Amino acid sequence: MAVSQFDRVADFLKLPADIRERCKWPKRIITVTVPIRRDDGTTEVFFGHRVQHHLTRGPVKGGLRYHPDVNVGEVAALAMWMNWKCALLDLPFGGGKGGISCNPSEMSDGELERMTRRFTMEMIPFIGPEIDVMAPDMGTNEQTMAWIMDTYSTHSGHLVPSIVTGKPISLQGSAGRTRATGHGVAFLSSIALSKLGIKEESATAIIQGFGNVGLYTAVTLASYGVKIIGISDASGALWSQDGIDIHALRAYVSDHKVISGFPAAESIDPNEMLTRKCDILAPCAVGGVIHASNAGRLDCKILAKGANGPTTPDADLIIEKRDDILMIPDILCNAGGVTVSYFEWVQNLQRFQWTEKEVISKLETKLHATFEQVMSYAAKHKLPKRMSAQAIAISTVANAKSTRGLFP
């Protein structure tokens, strides 16, 4: 998907063949074995990957994912998207992504800690605050980042907070980082609502996913007065035309781990939920959930792509032709996380802490300006929004590469 998107945009930009090849391939692909002692005394070997898409504009930046489906191809695609995301937001980073193929829900905290520390040790020759800065992604969280920072700092002989972002606040994490991705999805959706002349208090939203992104998308949209009528996670989907009480659902999930069984809403089919009528549809879970067979049946006015790659290329072709849907591309829509990661890295390098108000206001300013830039580039060049965002990003990277020149 990432490569076919790249080719389409590179054709539009008429990128010269040499620059095109240099922009397309990752700089480094690192695969390591991660042996750990399980709690039952046996030894298990996991496979970990890190792809560094390029270092032309600064250290690579991006998450570390723990999921059974992780493989090097997926990680490479996600690194390429991170690369475009950082360039689009004009952050001084290349794109990186990493992952370990494992099922974190079946591992104890001790096993997760040993796996994270061993993976970090294996990565030490390839990472650093000026080389590669990891962050949370699917299946990882601020505790994972704390273990990475501790392992790296112990190895260095001094505290190096800038080695990861998305750390706990007590360890020089940034205020606002936990909610940043979902906050950005909701904030951009509200800008899209105002473009369409829809008032927040009369708007409805369907959110797929109740992990970090889905949760804070729901919390922020609800705080704007938007009614959350549908929400799903891996356990099922909930529906209430009167609106789901997100705070009550959050409390239910902290006791029951999943949304299914929440008494104050009806249980519905999670796939069918995606095609129900709403103003904002926000897929905030895994990739590829909107495809050729459901894209034509979407009944939303705004498609806010909180997940990375939630629509397949076939679905994109269908959605592009539908002028009844305003689509917010993923590399913009979910960029709140990496933007506040950048703020965290800057704060760490300066040994300084900003307030949550400062962080969120800087985040909103950056997201709003980039949204307008994507919209006007799309209008000027008659492009779909996704291509517009990618074209801005890829030309930023291509310009940096051609101006730096080719070594030697």
- Binding residues for ligand GLU, rule: CB under 6 A, are 61-63, 135, 137, 165-166, 308, 334, 337-338, 341
Q: How far is the CB of 195 from ligand GLU (least distance, A)?
A: 24
CB of 119 to ligand GLU, least distance (A): 16
Residue 340 has which token pair? Answer: 């506040």
Packing angle of the helix pair 2-13, 72-88 (nearest 10 deg): 40
67: tokens are: 């999921």
Residue 135 or 332: the one with the smaller Cβ distance to ligand GLU is: 135
Nearest Cα to 114, choosing from 150, 139, 138, 142? 150
Beta carbon nearer to ligand GLU, 36 or 289? 289
* CB 24, min distance to ligand GLU, A: 20
**Residue 283, preceding peptide bond in cis (omega within 30° of 0):** no
Q: How far is the CB of 332 from ligand GLU (least distance, A)?
A: 11
What is d(CA 18, CA 15) in angstroms, rounded to the nearest whole number?
A: 8
For ligand GLU, the closer of residues 274 and 340 by Cβ is 340
Looking at beta carbons only, is 61 or 67 nearer to ligand GLU?
A: 61
Smallest distance from ligand GLU to CB 106, Å: 22
Tokens encoding 223: 């705080």
- Residue among 97, 167, 227, 301 flagged as catalytic: 97
- The answer to whether 129 and 351 are in contact (CB under 8 A) is no
DSSP, res 171: G
Output DSSP code: residue 174. P
Of the pair 136, 270, the CB lying nearest ligand GLU is at 136
Contact present, 118 and 108 (Cβ < 8 Å):
no
- Beta carbons within 10 angstroms of residue 354's beta carbon: 18
Told to judge if 97 belongs to the known catalytic residues of this protein, a careful annotator would answer yes
What positions carry a catalytic annotation?
97
